[in-house]
Structure formats: structure tokens, C-alpha cells
């Protein structure tokens, strides 16, 4: 008996699923009852829970919007787990039941093209989002998620122009002032920066926690992508990073720790004795232990300045998955989170983020009432605004994540003296071909 009821239920569910798929119009009431969102951390979830109108939280990974239940599928990024899970689910998307289909997923710049350049993501125009809706967004955030045919396939609420965060106490001790303009003079280009490294070292500080800290500033200012016609190429500016970093490491001015390791993040605290870190707005709020008592950030001890070169790092984009049965809800979440000016200014004040809304950011940059607590009362938004204009993303490729990771790993061996430069480069090529067997070098 139970089986019979179940089979009838299943049949009905399937039928309604097909009917909905046939007749789904944006805004129609016959949309799916479950919204599946795939993500790798709580960053986007926190913002939606706090700021999306009508979101009711059931527990950490569940909630409801109206009569639609929202399910957050969180898989950590480590060891590529997030993408593996997402890939397998996307490949099964077509045959999945309507309520199990992915409706929305998040991607990062390093691998956005892998998803955007396929039919698994929907064009935002298909959702009913017009170019007038997103006119205030920074163009670079749209370039990242535009496929090879020029179709825009995702949106982001944040902009990630990077700046240099320096330890104010250390700056006072070494240069006699923690004023951003003064500090900027000591780090205005790479030659000056590397010379300053010695001054900083003589005062007992490391210029950066690890050679990997400066990697993005070099790798974002390249003239060609990692892969050209199926061949792995290393840009001259990346080699500049190798040479500069080798000199810094050999002199003992910096370490070779992996990013996010305990040794690397020791510098978030005064005893870590690190002069500066490079990062975008989310770095301050999300990563620098700013909520831990005793950390530099907790006491507002960081200052921000442009640093030697502009760059961007990370950022999260929202993509709609092809086959979603919640198009109007997906559209609304995208619009609320990435275009609604009130929501976005709240993200700035609440999370120290830098949001993807040009007029709002320019207004806030000039607003004397806004200041960042972590940055000791500084308003860094003008700096981000200036930085975001200079971003050039024409050299992204879908291999960026693998190449960036493997390059830093391989070079660590060279910096530590376990390999010659050629051996380390050889290791890099080998490791990339293992990840992407179709490439040559």
C-alpha cells in the first residue's frame, strides 16, 4: 500500500515537473518549490540571510523565501572538492528531478570561464535582466563572466580591486609615520618596494609574510594568458615575480609559507612581525582574524595604500544553472544582491566589502561619515574606486586556477633552494599537464 502511494506521488511529482518546465514563465506561480544553491563558504549565504527581503532562516543551510524552500549545498574549496561536486551534479542536471536540479551556483574568477563558456550557465538576459538593470556595475566584473561569444552569464555583488594593507605600528616605528601617502612613497613601485624590504628587515619585520603574497599583483599584470593555442606559456611579468621573490627569500626578508597556513597568518597578530599583506576588500573582513581579540585588525591597526601595482583577487559571481525551475526567484536574488543600492551599501557598512555599484561607491568614497574600523578609521573606498578602473581582465583563461596554484607550489622549491629554476619550471609544466592532459609545453 505504502509503495503504491509513493509511486503515485512520484508520478504526480514527475508530471508536475514536466508541466512546470513546459509552461514556466518568469514570475508565474508554478515555479519549483526548492531553490538549490551551490557554494563553497558562508560568505554569500550570510549576505542573503541578512539582507534578502523575505528570507526566513530555518537552520544554517536551510531557509525559506515565501513558499519556496532554499537549500544551501556547501562544499569546501580544498582539494578542488567544490568543483568536483559541482561538475558531477551539473553533468546530471538534465536527468535530475526538478527539485534536485541546481538553480544557482557561485564561481570564482580563476575558473569562471570553465562554467561560463558552456551551456550549463544561463545568459542573464534569458532571466529577464536587462542591461539597464546592471548599468551601474563595474565592467570588469562582467568581463569575467562573459563567454567567448560575448554573452553575459553571471553577476557579482562585489568588486575586488586589491590594495596593500600595512601594519600601522610598524610604519610608525620604521618610517616615523603611518600616513598612507607617506607609506606609499616607500612602496610606490617594485624597485622601491624591494629596497624598502631591507629597511623593514633591519627593524625586525618581514616585508610580506610569504613570497606568495605578492603573486597576484604580478600575475594580474600580464600581457598574455597562461595558455595560448593549447600551449602553456609563462609571461615575463610572472618571471619578474620569481626573480624578485627569490631575492627577497634569499635575503630573509620574507618566507615561503603557503597562503592560509598558520605560519602565513601569524602576521595578523603583532607578534607575527609582518609589515604588509596584499588583498582586496573582502580580505580585511573575511581573512585577517579581525574578529579575534588581540589581532592587529581587532585594534584597527591596519592602514591601506595602493602599493606598487594595481591588481584584483577573487570575487564571487552568481550564475543561474540551465534547467532551473525558479527563474524568477533567481532573477530577483541576482538583482537584489547585485543592483539594489540600499542592500549594497548595507553590505559595505556591515562587512567592509567593496560592492559592484559605481555611483554608490563613489558617493561613499566621498562620505566623511563612512570609515573602516579595521583600518583604524580610514575610508579606503576611493582607493578601491581608483583601482577598479585600471583592471584588465583580457588575459583570463579557464586554466588559471590550476596554473596559478601549481606555479606557486613549484616555485616554492626554487625559493627554498631545493631545485634550480629550470627544475622548478619543469615540475610546474608536469603538474599542469597532469591536471589538463590536453595541454602541451
Partner 1 sequence: MTSTRRGKVVSYNKWGYIFLIPFVVVYLLFSFVPLVSTIYNSFFENYRSGLTQIGPTFIGLENFKTILTSGEVWVYAKNTMIMWILGFIPQILISLLLGAWFSDPSLRLGCQGFFKTVIYLPNLIMASAFAMLFFTLFSDGGPINSLLMQMGFISTPFKFLSNVWSARFLVATMNCLMWFGNTTILLMAGMMGIDTSLFEAARVDGATSTQVFFKITLPLLRPILVYVMITSLIGGLQMFDVPQILTKGSGDPMRSTMTLIMYLNKHLFSKNYGLGGALSVILFVITGILSLLVFKLSSRNESN
Which residues form the interface with partner 1 (CB under 8 A)? 79-80, 87, 90-91, 114-115, 117-118, 120, 255-258, 261-263, 266, 398, 402, 409, 412-413, 416, 418-419, 423-424, 427, 430-431, 434-438
Tell me whether residue 60 or residue 258 sits nearer to partner 1 (CB atom).
Answer: 258
Whole-angstrom distance, CA of residue 388 vs CA of residue 166: 20
Whole-angstrom distance, CA of residue 94 vs CA of residue 85: 16
Least distance CB 436 / partner 1 (angstroms): 6
Least distance CB 51 / partner 1 (angstroms): 32
Least distance CB 440 / partner 1 (angstroms): 13
Least distance CB 31 / partner 1 (angstroms): 26
Per-residue cell: 437:
592532459
User: Would you say 145 and 138 are in contact if contact means Cβ atoms under 8 Å apart?
Assistant: no
Tell me whether residue 10 or residue 91 sits nearer to partner 1 (CB atom).
Answer: 91
Per-residue cell: 433:
599537464
Tell me whether residue 181 or residue 262 sits nearer to partner 1 (CB atom).
Answer: 262
The DSSP result for 314-378, as a single string, is --EEEEEBTT-S-HHHHHHHHHHHHH-HHHHHHHHHHH---BS-HHHHHHHHT-TT--BTTTTTB
Least distance CB 95 / partner 1 (angstroms): 15
Least distance CB 96 / partner 1 (angstroms): 15
Tell me whether residue 256 or residue 339 sits nearer to partner 1 (CB atom).
Answer: 256
Tell me whether residue 280 or residue 402 sits nearer to partner 1 (CB atom).
Answer: 402
Torsion over CA: 113, 114, 116, 119 (sign):
positive
Closest CA to 109 of 391, 305, 381: 391
Q: Are strands 227-228 and 274-279 parallel, antiparallel or unpaired?
A: unpaired
Q: Which residues contact 376 (CB under 8 A, 6 or more apart)?
A: 168, 300, 301, 302, 303
Tell me whether residue 120 or residue 157 sits nearer to partner 1 (CB atom).
Answer: 120
Amino acid at each position: 500500500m505504502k509503495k503504491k502511494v509513493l509511486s503515485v506521488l512520484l508520478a504526480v511529482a514527475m508530471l508536475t515537473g514536466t508541466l512546470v518546465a513546459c509552461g514556466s514563465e518568469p514570475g508565474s506561480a508554478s515555479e519549483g518549490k526548492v531553490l538549490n544553491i551551490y557554494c563553497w563558504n558562508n560568505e554569500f549565504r550570510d549576505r542573503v540571510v541578512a539582507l534578502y527581503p523575505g528570507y526566513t532562516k530555518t537552520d544554517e543551510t536551510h531557509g525559506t523565501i515565501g513558499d519556496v524552500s532554499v537549500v544551501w549545498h556547501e562544499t569546501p574549496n580544498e582539494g578542488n572538492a567544490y568543483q568536483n561536486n559541482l561538475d558531477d551534479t551539473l553533468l546530471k542536471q538534465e536527468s535530475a528531478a526538478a527539485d534536485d536540479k541546481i538553480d544557482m551556483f557561485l564561481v570564482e574568477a580563476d575558473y569562471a570561464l570553465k562554467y561560463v563558456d558552456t551551456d550549463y550557465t544561463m545568459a542573464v538576459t534569458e532571466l529577464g535582466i536587462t542591461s539597464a538593470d546592471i548599468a551601474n556595475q563595474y565592467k570588469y566584473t562582467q568581463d569575467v563572466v562573459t563567454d567567448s561569444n560575448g554573452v553575459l552569464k553571471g553577476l557579482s555583488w562585489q568588486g575586488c580591486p586589491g590594495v596593500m594593507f600595512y601594519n600601522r605600528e610598524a610604519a610608525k616605528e620604521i618610517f616615523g609615520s603611518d600616513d598612507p601617502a607617506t607609506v606609499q612613497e616607500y612602496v610606490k613601485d617594485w624597485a622601491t618596494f624591494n629596497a624598502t624590504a631591507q629597511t623593514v628587515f633591519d627593524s625586525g619585520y618581514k616585508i610580506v609574510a610569504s613570497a606568495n603574497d605578492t603573486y597576484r599583483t604580478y600575475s594580474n599584470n600580464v600581457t598574455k594568458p597562461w595558455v595560448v593555442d593549447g600551449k602553456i606559456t609563462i609571461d615575463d611579468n610572472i618571471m619578474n615575480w620569481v626573480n624578485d621573490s627569490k631575492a627577497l627569500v634569499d635575503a630573509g626578508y620574507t618566507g615561503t609559507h603557503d597562503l592560509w597556513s598558520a605560519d602565513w597568518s601569524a602576521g595578523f597578530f603583532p607578534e607575527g612581525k609582518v609589515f604588509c599583506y596584499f588583498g582586496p576588500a573582502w580580505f580585511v573582513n573575511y581573512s585577517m582574524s579581525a574578529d579575534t581579540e588581540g589581532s592587529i585588525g581587532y585594534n584597527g591597526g591596519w592602514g591601506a595604500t595602493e602599493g606598487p601595482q594595481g591588481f584584483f583577487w577573487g570575487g564571487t559571481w552568481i550564475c543561474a544553472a540551465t534547467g532551473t525551475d525558479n527563474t524568477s526567484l533567481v532573477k530577483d536574488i541576482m538583482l537584489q544582491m547585485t543592483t539594489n543600492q540600499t542592500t549594497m551599501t548595507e553590505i559595505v557598512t556591515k562587512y567592509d566589502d567593496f560592492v559592484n555599484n559605481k555611483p554608490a561607491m563613489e558617493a561613499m568614497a566621498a562620505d566623511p561619515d563612512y570609515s573602516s574600523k579595521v583600518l583604524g578609521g580610514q575610508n579606503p573606498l576611493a582607493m578601491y574606486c581608483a583601482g577598479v578602473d585600471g583592471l584588465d581582465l583580457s588575459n583570463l583563461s579557464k586554466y588559471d586556477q590550476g596554473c596559478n596554484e601549481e606555479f606557486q607550489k613549484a616555485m616554492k622549491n626554487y625559493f627554498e633552494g631545493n631545485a634550480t629554476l629550470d627544475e622548478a619550471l619543469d615540475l610546474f609544466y608536469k603538474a599542469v599537464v597532469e591536471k589538463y592532459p590536453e595541454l602541451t609545453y
